[in-house]
A and B are shown apart, each in its own frame.
Chain A
Amino acid sequence: MDSKYTARTFVVETIAVAIGLLFLVPFYFVLINAVKSNANILLDAASLPQTIIFDNFRRVWSLLHFPRAFWNSLLVTVLSNLGLIVISSMAAWKLARTPGKVSRILFGLFVAAMVIPFQTVMIPLVKLSASLNLVNSIPGLIFIYFGFGVSMTLFLFHGFIKTVPREVEEAADVDGCSPFGVFWRIVFPLLKPIVMTTVILNTLWIWNDYLLPRLMLQSSDLHTIPVAMSALFAQYNKQWDLGLAALVIGTLPILIFSLLLQKHIVKGIAAGSGK
């Protein structure tokens, strides 16, 4: 509201920075204790480490099978995102550009399903996926993410496409471009901002999702980071030297992703919620 840097602004800034530091305290506790021995953690969790033990990281790196878990998470997140963009943008465009009852009903169905909690479909889904051979398979899990993510992704694309003028598409139509050509060569490049939004929202969701991969991926070779983390905590309960080092490694990828893309994330969330 104020554009000048007044004494009042300085007070506000001081308060804001203090709250910011408060927000960071949990990270501080995790970091200083992740390099201590378990005995030292139990002795005093607030003090700075006397000797820094990097061995914790080396041990959890192999206990978590971190490279494998990271790769699984990456594969699931990237391919789910790609598939969701393709199927949702195509469907959203057709639904937005085809007037009539069919489009309205289908769109309404997609949107209404956003209210359904995961727990409501979870039980039959486990059975159905088993009979469709989607269980214990990364491609199977990715396909399931298509099904769950399509509602919101389509909704966001639909809202955005309505703001894109139709004239260009119509001109291309007259020029004899096929519907796929019109969509991929002319419409899709215009959708870049909303693609960014959906990628950010879907990545934060899929990367961090725990329950679905746990239900679907039994074999530990296929575990994603959250599932591997929960297995490690179940096995090494109260061994905080391992637990905290695992949490540092486990949160690092998504923290780096968000710091790199933070401008887009802020914009994406504001845009994604405005619809």
Chain B
Amino acid sequence: MNAAARNEANEAAAIRALPHDKARTSNARKRNKWLVFAAFVSPALLCFLLIQMIPFAVGISYSFTSWNGVSSAVDWVGLDNFKRIFTSDDKFMDSFLFTFRFTVVAVLVSNLIGLGLALLLNGALKSKNALRTVFFLPNVIGGLLLGFIWQFIFVKGFAAVGSATNLPFFQLPWLGDANTAFWGIVIVFAWQQSGYLMVIYIAALQGVDNSVIEAARIDGAGRLSVLRRIVLPLIAPAFTICLFLSMSHAFKIYDLNYSLTGGGPFNSTQSVAMNIYAEAFTNNHYGVGSAKAFVFFIVVAIVTLAQVMITKKREVEA
């Protein structure tokens, strides 16, 4: 690219018939170089600044006001919004508690299933490709539609299976109390995510050198200890990615519980994302909503960075 800039600058200089004016040539070359740089980068940068960075900054400033989204009077209230959401907004705290609890359980369950499926399909199975497609399929359907599908499965499907088989598991009041609603969302999340995680784990498993495993087996190591001592440490980078992806999906969950439980029963499955939405667009508290959104950002950033740092460190050690 330097060469291109140089070429054009040279041509420009030649046209102006100023071959001796070195200072001006190099200025023109520099200017030209930056013009080309701007031409390539500015469309992306403009969209990015306008849609992400400016609203992000504006949102932070909203969080110190009492704006309702409509009136032109915007009062500066300092830290009042933050004080309010931390001291007298039980629903917000509950939504955080739900989101944390859900994230821990959902990440564990979906990664265990994802890794398990990857290990199953890593052998010389005849139905390998078909099964991979089947396990991946739920992932391509969006959270909103999945939530509606499973609402039917839990309420009508489980009930029908329950009355036919008398299995107590299917006779629980699914989605009807806080506990079954929580596990309902975990089940749907795992059904949706584990196939995606499986694809990443399979890719990592295929990168593992078979001769290492064979050598260990010849030395008398059992299957489980080969898995624990050799295979799992070797695919540590896949854990970093899968934990990161599943955590960020779980933590920001909105569509799925919106359509599955609507946050109920009694707000027991309201995620932080839902709480922020309700505060801003149902209650018309843009100020408080923005403060919550800012707190949410800080927590997401800390949790994500901490997770990446911890698993990266373990990758190096392993």
- State the Cβ distance, B198 to closest chain A Cβ, in Å: 10
Q: What are the residues of chain A within 8 A of B45 when measuring CB–CB?
A: 91, 106
Complex alpha-carbon distance, A148 and B8, angstroms: 35
Q: Does B175 contact A (CB under 8 A)?
A: no
Please state if A30 and B143 are interface contacts (CB–CB under 8 Å): no
Asked whether B196 is an interface residue with its Cβ less than 8 Å from the other chain, the reply is yes
A26 touches B160 (CB 8 A): no
Q: Using an 8 Å CB-CB cutoff, how does the interface string of B125-150 with A read, 1 for contact, 0 for none?
A: 11100111111111111111100111
A196-239 interface mask toward B, CB cutoff 8 Å, 1 = contact, 0 = none? Answer: 00000000100111110001000000000010011001000000
Decide: A113 and B52 in contact? CB cutoff 8 A: yes
With a cutoff of 8 Å between Cβ atoms, the chain B residues found around residue A94 in the complex are 1, 36-37, 40-41
B161 contacts across to A, CB distance below 8 A = 46
CB distance from B237 to the nearest CB of A (A): 8
Q: Which A residue sits closest to B117, measured CB to CB?
A: A19
Contact between chains at A247 and B145 (CB < 8 Å): yes
B259 near A17: Cβ-Cβ < 8 Å: no
B58 within 8 A of A: yes
Q: How large is the interface on B (under 10, 10 to 19, 20 to 34, 35 or more residues)?
A: 35 or more
List residues of chain B with CB within 8 A of the CB of A118.
252, 273
What's the nearest-Cβ distance from chain B to residue A199, in Å? 14
Residues of chain A at the chain B interface (Cβ within 8 Å): 1-5, 9, 12-13, 15-17, 19-20, 23-24, 26-27, 29-30, 33, 41-42, 44-47, 86-88, 90-91, 93-95, 97-98, 102, 106, 109-110, 113, 115-128, 132, 143-144, 146-148, 150-151, 154, 169-170, 173-174, 176-180, 182-183, 204, 207-211, 215, 226, 229-230, 233, 240, 243-244, 247, 250-251, 254-255, 257-259, 262, 265-266, 269-270, 273-274
Taking CB as reference atom, which chain B residue is nearest A12? Answer: B123
Q: Report how far A87 CA is from B43 CA in the complex, Å.
A: 6
Given contacts A19-B117, A121-B59, A124-B290, contact A97 B1 (CB under 8 A): yes
B169 to chain A, nearest CB (A): 13
Contact between chains at A123 and B290 (CB < 8 Å): yes
Which one of B2, B117, B133, B145 has the greatest number of beta carbons of chain A within 10 Å?
A: B145
Q: Is B189 an interface residue, CB under 8 A from the partner?
A: no
Distance of A215 Cα from B55 Cα, bound (Å): 15
- A120–B8 Cα distance when bound, in Å, is 45
User: Of the candidates A45, A119, A151, A229, which one forms a contact with B48 in the assembled complex, judged by CB atoms under 8 Å apart?
Assistant: A151
Contact A147–B47 (Cβ < 8 Å): yes
* A16 engages B125 (CB within 8 Å): yes
Interface flag for B76 (CB, 8 Å)? no
A124 contact from B4, B39, B55, B145, Cβ within 8 A: B55
Q: Are the C-beta atoms of A91 and B40 separated by less than 8 Å? A: yes
Q: Taking the nearest CB of chain B, how far is it from the CB of A254, in angstroms?
A: 5
User: In this assembly, does B184 line the interface, its C-beta being within 8 Å of a C-beta of chain A?
Assistant: no
When C-beta atoms are compared, the residue in chain B nearest to A226 turns out to be B144
Chain B residues, CB < 8 A from A170: 3
B85 within 8 A of A: no
Closest Cβ–Cβ distance, residue B159 to chain A (whole Å):
7
Number of A-B contacts (CB under 8 A): 291
Alpha-carbon separation in the docked complex, A120 to B259 (Å): 21
The reply to whether the CB of B51 lies closer than 8 angstroms to some CB of chain A is: yes
Further 11 A-B residue pairs, CB within 8 A, beyond A118-B252, A127-B58, A255-B137: A1-B123, A45-B152, A87-B43, A94-B40, A117-B293, A123-B59, A146-B47, A147-B52, A210-B142, A229-B144, A230-B259
Contact yes or no, B133 A23, CB < 8 A? no
**A95–B40 alpha-carbon span in the complex (Å):** 9
CB distance from B41 to the nearest CB of A (A): 5
Task: Take A116-B56, A119-B296, A233-B148 as given contacts and tell me if A42 and B277 are in contact as well, using a CB distance cutoff of 8 Å.
Answer: no
Given A16-B127, A183-B40, verify A150-B47 contact (CB < 8 Å): yes
Contact B152 A147 (CB under 8 A): no
> Which residues of A sit under 8 angstroms from B120, Cβ to Cβ?
12, 15-16, 19
Contact of A204 among B43, B132, B140, B294 (CB under 8 A): B140
A to B CB contacts below 8 Å, 17 in the list = A12-B123, A13-B126, A19-B135, A26-B138, A90-B44, A113-B56, A118-B273, A119-B254, A120-B296, A122-B276, A125-B51, A125-B55, A143-B47, A173-B3, A265-B140, A270-B199, A274-B203
Could you tell me the distance between the alpha carbons of A46 and B123 in the complex, rounded to whole angstroms?
A: 34
Q: Return chain B residues, CB-CB under 8 Å to A47.
A: 160
Partner of B44, one of A87, A125, A229: A87
Nearest Cβ on chain B to A257's Cβ, whole angstroms: 8
Contact of A23 among B135, B199, B300 (CB under 8 A): B135
Q: A87-B43, A90-B40, A229-B145 are in contact. Are A45 and B159 (CB under 8 A)?
A: yes
Task: Give chain B nearest CB distance to A212 CB in angstroms.
Answer: 10
Measured between C-beta atoms, what is the minimum distance from A141 to chain B in Å? 11
Nearest CB on B from A116, distance (A): 6
Given contacts A124-B55, A211-B254, A243-B148, contact A117 B297 (CB under 8 A): yes
Query: How far apart sit A268 and B153, CA to CA, in the bound complex (Å)?
Result: 31
B295's nearest neighbour on chain A, judged by CB, is A120
B294 contacts which of A9, A120, A230 (Cβ < 8 Å)?
Answer: A120
